[in-house]
Structure 1
């Protein structure tokens, strides 16, 4: 286990290197941010002077080398919009995004586990068709449309929840539901298919023949063994959660990393873009590593 963790941690380095290279290339070809940093009546001399001070007049390989030297020191440069180092700004917004993502995942689990188990134990019944049909419907709904509909119904019409912002628990409800329902739909279908496979195993039939109550057979024996793919999809959904916050945070004006990244892209604040993508990539890699550790906890037979 220890050797495996060391190997996985060492694999993080080339992955982050590749991600940083791709992000830098995309930023390099995205355009010149100097045009947004200076007023429209700025002279060509002012433009060239600012470009030289930022190192943007250097060739690609020189700019990339400078970028990598800063990256090793966790220095992504200064944000021209906020006039300070980019990484502290990103880390300041990160707790809001993690709060929203955690709430969305809790909602997804609360919805998906009972509906997935119920659908599997009632195969081909009206309950099964309702759960599978509902999961397809919720998965097909775009986040921004669902968020707007929730705002119109529960905020504008009924006045139950705030329209936007962050502060109290009531501010968290609508964006968490918007983000969590799509993930719940996918998890419900996976739990159903995994449970159906487990329920047909010999040891489940043996447990039933011994007179063990169906509730304990399903929830103690079957569901525990069905958790492996659920853990996998939960870890993989981390990237979906973080990516989904880009839209959800914009719709609800949630002051998180997603909203910051959208604003940075619109204003070509490349230091913020690079720092945000790096932090998001690190979180996704960390969650995948955590999923591998949970495999061993759930099933000690798994060997690394």
Structure 2
């Protein structure tokens, strides 16, 4: 627990750095007032908005006020939706989490048996086939795969809906589009980890004791091979939450990714800042969970 709390404390400087980067990017991309207000607005209206946003203060004062607002959970109000920016992002977060979880489940179901099979059939035609498919799956962009899935399963075959959410049918195509790349990466990593573990002494000892090969592979080898895989799963889960920008847009999935793209296009900076902050927290939490799972999978790992 001490290790966990120390890592939580260490995340504070990371979050501060992220807020600083977002704060700077919002201002170097142009005048926030010019980005937010209509081109037909009068100079008086621009001046009033500038004063309301506190842009007349120097940058140091602006950043201090900005951090004070964040600590209170106040990222400002979305001028597009006329509601609190953080509330808007949090309302969209469950949809992104749902899509991330389903994508990860699909990726795990596919990658675990393929990775193990590829390892135990090393250098066979089956191994080469699985490795080749993994390379292709990793190389395909999510948005391109999403469009192809829509063309085949929605337009040509009319089996699944093109866009939207609310049912399992709506989830399948975007989850497959997101999960394919993850499955390909995990398959390759599981294969590599299994090959390393299968060559170690304790595996030879287990076999010499007369254990069934299925027990040796699925219990002794796979459990130890899981440790590096956990890192990929944790990091990819956080990536799915915040990195589904194009895919959520392609499938009109009402998640944080789609909201962030819309906010950038509309210059809704309050929503952009809130969304980036939530994504950063998701990444940090995923990393912390990965560290904790390490300990559960391998008690030999000690934390000072």
Counterpart mapping for 1:249-264 below 5 A: 249-264=248-263
Regions of 4+ moved over 4 Å: none
Cα offsets for 1:122-148 (capped at 9, x unmatched) = 000011001111111011001111000
Distance 2:292 2:27 in 1: 38
What RMSD in Å do the two structures reach over aligned CA positions?
1.2
Cα offsets for 1:242-300 (capped at 9, x unmatched) = 34311110000000000000011111111111111111111111111111111111111
Q: Which residue of 2 aligns with 1:200?
A: 199
* Pair 1:116-2:120 in alignment: no
- TM-aligned CA deviation for residue 36 of structure 1: 4.7
Asked whether the 8 Å contact 1:143–1:244 carries over to 2, the reply is no
Cα offsets for 1:174-227 (capped at 9, x unmatched) = 000000000111111100000000001111112112221111110011000101
Q: How many residues align?
A: 303
Asked whether the 8 Å contact 1:24–1:64 carries over to 2, the reply is yes
Q: Which residue of 2 aligns with 1:161?
A: 160
Distance 1:215 1:247 in 2: 41
Distance 1:78 1:34 in 2: 14
Distance 1:260 1:137 in 2: 30
Asked whether the 8 Å contact 2:248–2:255 carries over to 1, the reply is yes
Structure 2 alignment gaps of length 5 or more: none
Asked whether the 8 Å contact 1:34–1:47 carries over to 2, the reply is yes
TM-score (norm 1): 0.97
- TM-aligned CA deviation for residue 59 of structure 1: 2.2
Asked whether the 8 Å contact 1:249–1:256 carries over to 2, the reply is yes
- TM-aligned CA deviation for residue 45 of structure 1: 2.2
Q: Which residue of 2 aligns with 1:55?
A: 54
Cα offsets for 1:96-125 (capped at 9, x unmatched) = 000000011001101110000000000000
Distance 1:57 1:16 in 2: 26
Distance 1:28 1:54 in 2: 12
Asked whether the 8 Å contact 2:115–2:187 carries over to 1, the reply is yes
**What's the secondary structure of 2:254's corresponding residue?**
coil
Q: Which residue of 1 aligns with 2:67?
A: 68
Q: Which residue of 1 aligns with 2:211?
A: 212
Q: Which residue of 2 aligns with 1:19?
A: 18
* Pair 1:40-2:39 in alignment: yes
